[in-house]
Amino acid sequence: MSTTFQLDTATSRANPTPAPMKRLTVPQIQRRKFEGRTENPLVMLTAYTARQAQLLDPHCDLLLVGDSLGQVIYGLPSTLSVTLDMMIAHGAAVVRGSYHSVVIVDMPFGTYEASPQQAFAAASRIMAETGCAGVKLEGGQAMAETIAFLTARGIPVMAHVGLTPQAVNALGGYGARGKSQQEHEKIVADGVAVANAGAFAIVVEGVLEPIAIALTKTVEVPTIGIGASAQCDGQVLVTEDMLGMFERVPRFVKRYETIAETISGAAVRYAEEVRARVFPGPEQTYQPK
């Protein structure tokens, strides 16, 4: 969907005028992989707010409104408590804040596993109430029927195999997947099943690198790695992890900045100036003429 909702930029700091640019589409993303190869790897980051979307949008092909917002934004212990209403509210904000990237919204735990019909009810709400381009759901062969059901009804689906955080209790933790030959074969089979069901791309998370490479070579749709391999057709990270907002991050994260230190340092300086009655100064106050 190419529609971007804008507020009056003269009155809202949150909505600067975007540069002219046409939004990418799901078919364009899928066509980036041609004859088994993606010359220009796909760039994907998470976004949860309109302002974050504005900053990331010009540099990304896709923005993922991930259910990781449960931990990053709400301080929840896992993604399992994230609700459909949460995802819709943040998804709509990211669509409003972007004009170039394909926006994909995670389907939260418990909104799609019971049946294809349940999944369609939740996915259609997400699409209609956010204006996003598609949804993402976790699971391999078990979700193939659901993916086929959704795609046949006009809902683009990004699949997610390997380490699937919503199944963390069943998996026994967040460790890398594919250490046994049986699990290796299952992950590849999961990827093939969701691709054949109609998924336009597949997130491959937390797997041994040979598995990610094998799956990327096997399926015709793009793979997007996170803790997988540079040989995937694209990459995704949680933006706050990449920016250094947290002390602890997964092993596969590369920190490109130390934003937490910047914020903390600014807060220290602000607090010092307030306590010294230095702020606000003449430049920040209104004086009689």
Give the tens place of pLDDT for each residue, 199-244: 999 999 999 999 999 999 999 999 999 999 999 999 999 999 999 9
Q: What is the pLDDT of residues 115-146, one digit of tens each?
A: 999 999 999 999 999 999 999 999 999 999 99
Residue 95 backbone class (left: φ over 0; alpha: ψ -120 to 50; beta: rest)? alpha
pLDDT for residue 166 = 74
Q: Give tens-digit pLDDT for 153-202.
A: 999 999 999 988 776 655 555 567 768 899 899 999 999 999 999 999 99
In Å, how far are 20, 161, 204, 267 from 194, measured between CA atoms?
35, 9, 12, 47
136 is in an annotated binding site: yes
Helix (H, G, I), strand (E, B) or coil at 105: strand
Higher pLDDT, 70 or 4: 70
Question: Is 8 labelled as part of a ligand binding site?
Answer: no
- Assess contact for 23 and 2: CB atoms under 8 A: yes
Residue with tokens 């109609």: 198
Q: Which of 29, 104, 96 is nearest to 61 (CA)?
A: 29
Looking at residue 1, its pLDDT comes to: 40
Structure tokens, 118? 């349940």
Q: Is 68 annotated as a binding residue?
A: yes
Q: Which residues pair with 226 in a beta bridge?
A: 205
On whether 190 is known to bind a ligand per the annotation, the reply is no
d(CA 157, CA 42): 16
C-alpha to C-alpha distance for 154 and 223, rounded to whole angstroms: 21
Specify the residue for token string 């974050």: 52
Q: Domain locations in the chain? A: 26-242, 243-279
Check whether 3 has a pLDDT greater than 80. Answer: no
Is the whole model's pTM more than 0.85, yes or no? yes
Residue with tokens 């088994």: 36
Q: pLDDT averaged over the chain? A: 91
Q: Which CATH number describes the domain made up of 26-242?
A: 3.20.20.60
Position 177 scores a pLDDT of 74
Please give the average per-residue pLDDT across 241-269, as a whole number: 95
Exactly one of 129, 183, 205, 283 is catalytic; which is it? 205
Look up residue 175 and give its DSSP letter: P
Q: Return the pLDDT at 5.
A: 47
Residue 35 known to be catalytic: no
pLDDT at 273 > cutoff 60: yes
* Contact yes or no for 152/196 (Cβ under 8 A): no
Closest to 222 measured CA to CA, from 191, 252, 178: 191
Spatial distance between the Cα atoms of 207 and 192, rounded to a whole number of angstroms: 16
Cα 126 to chain centroid, rounded: 15
